[in-house]
């Protein structure tokens, strides 16, 4: 598990983004490739760095300094060698790899200028893009989302499955924050829309970047006054409350698959699993 509440091990080193400092950092640094699907060049031991990246290119991104070494990302449309999804990379490298994926995918999309529609080019070592027409600066966009671990009156956890997921894959309820809405309001709305549950005792827990897509997940815990569920059939195909014993059984027999260990969804589930069973109405 990754504890995103701790200070980041990645030093974004804004002072190194000047051209003369970047050249020195490039010579001493390590370069990882990232493709348009958010996969990272990998080998048997995790992240695979380029043996000979050559000269620094305009599209190369300065990620920051990690454990004393400058990291760069090189966006590519397709990966020639072995690769891994960001969420499958060793947790100790989550800080630089999440940043590398988020920035690389944004640059690969080469968004036009939001003011005049002209093309943009990478600038400030990948920290922004600058319009070639009007000079307007653009920065990577992050979409805020909420995700909620919900317990019923019997202290069971709500797990649900989207129609597009594999039949055995379940997670907790999540959704995007809409315009003019607080994170807490989004929790109440999303949960009621998707499964017909009204929340009480809503509490913020922690957050996590999720670069595929460009999201910031805000994690909450809440209670439900009822065990009645009404899946909407659009966002949610199936939903159920499970006790700790029931969850251990279905996971053990392979009839239910939990979210990956790197996800905040899994972190919130595991947080509930290790708690002693309580009467949530108290």
Under DSSP, the state recorded for 94 is: H
Residue-wise pLDDT tens digits, 90-126: 878 889 999 999 999 999 998 899 999 999 999 999 9
Model confidence band, residue 239 (pLDDT cutoffs 50, 70, 90): very high
Residues 28, 33: Cα–Cα separation, whole Å: 17
Residue range 9-18, pLDDT digits in tens: 999 988 887 7
Q: Which pLDDT tens digit goes with each residue over 160-211? A: 999 999 989 999 999 999 999 999 999 999 999 999 999 999 999 999 999 8
Q: b/e per residue, 55-70, with b = 16+ CB within 10 A?
A: ebeebbbbbbbbeeeb
Contact yes or no for 41/100 (Cβ under 8 A)? no
Q: Which two tokens stand for residue 147?
A: 């995700």
What is the three-class DSSP state of 31? strand
The average confidence (pLDDT) of the chain is 92
What's the rounded mean pLDDT across residues 57-63?
94
Q: Is pLDDT of 227 > 70?
A: yes
CA distance 173 to 183: 14
pLDDT confidence of residue 112: 94
What residue ranges define each of the domains in the chain, with the CATH number in brackets? 10-109 (3.90.79), 143-273 (3.90.79.10)
Question: Distance (Å, rounded) from C-alpha 19 to C-alpha 16?
Answer: 8
Query: Whole-angstrom Cα distance, residue 130 to residue 120?
Result: 5
pLDDT over 90 (residue 85): no
Measure CA of the first residue to CA of the last residue in the chain; give whole Å. Answer: 30
- Tell me the pLDDT tens digit for each residue of 122-134: 999 999 999 999 9
Q: Please tell me the distance from the alpha carbon of residue 43 to that of residue 3, in angstroms, as a whole number.
A: 25
Quick count: other Cβ atoms within 10 Å of Cβ 250? 17
Higher pLDDT, residue 243 or 214: 243
């Amino acid at each position: 598990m990754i504890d995103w509440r701790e200070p980041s091990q990645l030093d974004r080193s804004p002072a190194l983004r000047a051209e003369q400092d970047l050249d020195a950092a490039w010579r001493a640094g390590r370069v990882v490739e990232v493709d348009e699907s958010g996969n990272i060049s990998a080998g048997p031991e995790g992240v695979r760095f380029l043996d000979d990246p050559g000269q620094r290119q305009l599209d190369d991104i300065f990620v920051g300094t990690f454990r004393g070494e400058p990291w760069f990302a090189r966006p590519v449309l397709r990966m020639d060698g072995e690769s891994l999804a960001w969420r499958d990379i060793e947790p100790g490298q989550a800080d630089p790899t999440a940043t590398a994926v988020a920035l690389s995918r944004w640059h690969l999309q080469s968004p036009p200028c939001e003011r005049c529609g002209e093309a943009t080019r990478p600038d400030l070592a990948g920290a922004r893009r600058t319009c070639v027409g009007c000079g307007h600066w653009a920065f990577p966009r992050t979409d805020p989302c909420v995700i909620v671990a919900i317990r019923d009156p019997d202290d069971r956890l709500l797990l649900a499955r989207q129609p597009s997921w594999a039949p055995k894959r379940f997670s907790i309820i999540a959704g995007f924050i809409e315009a003019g809405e607080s994170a807490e309001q989004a929790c109440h709305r999303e949960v009621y829309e998707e499964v017909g549950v009204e929340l009480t005792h809503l509490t913020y827990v922690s957050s996590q970047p999720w670069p595929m897509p460009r999201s910031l997940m805000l994690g909450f815990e809440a209670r439900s006054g009822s065990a009645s569920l009404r899946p909407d059939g659009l966002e949610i195909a199936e939903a159920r409350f499970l006790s700790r014993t029931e969850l251990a059984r279905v996971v053990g027999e392979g009839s239910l698959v939990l979210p990956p260990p790197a996800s905040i969804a899994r972190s919130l589930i595991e947080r509930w699993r290790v708690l002693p069973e309580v009467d949530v109405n108290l």
